[in-house]
Amino acid sequence: MIRTVCLNPALDKTALIAGFKIDAINRIMSMRSDTGGKGINVSKVVTKLGGRTCAYALLGGTVGTQIESDIVDMGISCISVPIEGDTRTNLKIVDTKEGTHTDINESGPVVGSQELLDLLQRLISDIGEGDVVVLSGSLPRGVPQDTYATWIRASRQAGAAVFLDTNGRALTEGIDAMPTLIKPNLHELSELVGQQISSTDDIVRAAKDLLNEGIEVVVVSMGAQGALFATKNETIMAKAPHVPVGSTVGAGDAVIAAMAYAWEHHYKLADAATLAIATGSANVMQSGTQAAERSVIESLLGKVDLREL
């Protein structure tokens, strides 16, 4: 099973505006709400792919109650621990005229150490052989920056593969705990290796450095250009097909979801990369943070361009 950790989930509201202007009145053409946060987005995509998933979430207030109800309605198992603060609401502004996507995200509530420990204990007690644990997204306020590192060590000790998708100190601290897979973007990769990444050769060298530290798979996301997928034995550049853009929010989560699904089903790296890029591209075509149907993903598999490096 794929178990996603949702320490800072959110209700994502997406507003469509034609010609968004700063310091002016803007009229919303349409609005949609989606239960989100990176971990929940991963679970949504895994479900569409046909995988089994369970979301472990810290939830509070009326928004938290709504999110848990939405998760269950989507056919996703949910283990939640109540917190005192209210779960956050994020606003996504899509300018249909200019093709821009602007995120306005709340920081979220402060989380206590006992709440965090309670959720970790629930996760560890549930982990079974062959499980994948996905740790993704920002850490809540009040939580130490080495939290993901602690969860990685505990999850791996329990027998799970662990995928990490975060940034800043949470990423650097997490890498020290040796997750199975990481998915930095180019900016994050530059910070990790302490030098500016400016070419494909730079990306490959930086990925290899991280692999030599003990990580098994490095996925470097490059937005609309696709991603680089690297293990100690293989390096593949996967170019994304050109698709109409509905919303870019959650595209990276879709890639992680596909990689987790591929890992669980023992895909070869080339097949995993193809599925990941097709899944990310399919989700870009959707509105808000809704997950693409499996049929849409499959229609894009043959359009992913793979190149071995």
Any idea which residues carry the catalytic annotation?
253
Q: What sign does the dihedral 213-210-212-160 (CA atoms) show?
A: positive
C-alpha to C-alpha distance for 14 and 103, rounded to whole angstroms = 9
**CA 96: distance to chain centroid?**
25
Q: Can you give the C-alpha Rg of the chain in angstroms?
A: 18
For the purposes of burial, counting CB atoms within 10 Å of the CB of 200, is it exposed (0-12), middle (13-18) or buried (19 or more)?
Answer: middle
Reduced to 3 states (helix: H, G, I; strand: E, B; else coil), residue 75 is coil
Residue type, 97: K
Closest CA to 135 of 230, 253, 221, 216: 253
| Nearby residues of 65 by Cβ (< 8 Å), 6 or more positions away | 59
